[in-house]
Amino acid sequence: MTATDFDVESIRKDFPILSQKVYGKPLIYFDNAATSQKPQAVIDSLVKYYSEYNANIHRGVHYLSQKASIAYDDVRTKVQRFVNAETDKEIVFVRGTTEGINLVASSYGRKNIAAGDEVLISAMEHHSNIVPWQLLCEEKGAILKIIPMNDKGEIIFEEFEKLLNARTKFISIVYISNSLGTINPVKKIIAKAHEYGIPVLVDAAQAVAHLQVDVQDLDCDFMAFSSHKMLGPTGTGVLYGKMKLLEDMPPYQGGGDMIRSVSFEKTTYNDVPFKFEAGTPNVADVIAFGAAIDYLSNLNHATIESYEKELLNYVTEQLSEIKELKIIGTAKDKAGVVSFILEGINAMDAGMYLDTLGIAVRTGQHCTEPAMDFFKIPGTIRASFLFYNTKDEIDALVEGVKKAIKLLK
């Protein structure tokens, strides 16, 4: 199947929210980088859990608990296969990408980073991949260094190489920029880092919905991503870590399920991954996350990538013809994100006008304030796409932008 043969209208029928109207106009949802919409199978999974087998998991001897435990634990195996981890023990359930990064910074970082050590991140990182490392560096007296990017929004690899030295102890890098759409050469970055023995965390929040992600092929040491970016519910996600690293890390939080035995004198911790999963987990949303993985796994990833590339090329061509418009982030290798500014028009005003047309975009800094500062702008209008979007919707966006310019300039 080629992208041309991709039956997007059939796919759209799986997403009930896409058939609604906003202000009397058909909803055009271009805020997928913030959160993706959910297919009926995911919604049904949530309803089924709460209707049929709602119970706390693990250690329960009754039927509902055992059924819920099996359904929950099965998702760990689904995630393992989805990202090609070596074992499902390398899959830690967290609340999302943010918690996954914080877990690594707090657990691995506190144990392994010392005064004078250096941590590298890039100039295009989401705040969630900046602040945890700032906190760690402030606590430890370590130094946070920034991999620079060029005016297209691409990492300058030669400058990255120059930053590597014996003091570099960790690298945390975004796979796909949420505000620029840049697809970073993470495999190449990881290979170079490993020449120095430096572990690498990959923020894959945006990547998992767009690319076929393979942690063994990338050879990353950690990877964090969120369910809600990949058709699943909010409030759950994954931290992948190589087994040896996870085993050597201290717990992130204390509580139930992360222990083997507890006394007032000493606590013995559970095995990985349970050592990092304190307290009652988000059972319902993890199970529904499994339904999202099932849905994505049944799609042809090559076809999806090709179709989304068509959408990106199409919207880029159409918007580039508007003289008052400037695209921010023009990397050669991009995912389905187009960020732009309009000459003399406030981004929020434009976004609010587009909303009256039923077009959902995001405006502002997109939690990448340093990246916006690099481009010397207060923020952008961002349209982000998934495989259920269409060229007709892009046409409506382009016409809406033209109308906004006439109305607001």
Tell me the catalytic residues. 367
- Cα–Cα distance measured from residue 21 to residue 34, given in angstroms and rounded to the nearest whole number: 20
Burial classification of residue 298, based on how many CB atoms lie within 10 Å of its CB (0-12 exposed, 13-18 middle, 19 or more buried): exposed
Cα 97 to Cα 79: distance, rounded to the nearest angstrom:
14
Burial of 138 (0-12, 13-18, 19+ CB in 10 A): exposed
Beta bridge partners of 94: 237
Ramachandran class of 120: left when φ > 0, alpha when ψ lies in -120 to 50, beta otherwise = beta
Q: Which of 178, 180, 218 is nearest to 202 (CA)?
A: 218
Residue 361: Cβ within 10 Å count:
26
Max Cα-Cα span within the chain: 72
**DSSP class of residue 109?**
I
To which residue do tokens 């990092």 refer?
276
Q: Which has the closest alpha carbon to 385: 323, 322, 326, 318?
A: 318
Q: Cα separations (Å) of 105 from 110, 132, 240, 311?
A: 7, 6, 14, 36
Q: How many CB atoms lie within 10 A of CB 40?
A: 14
Residues 6+ apart with CB under 8 A from 400: 353, 354, 357, 359
Place of tokens 């013809």: 321
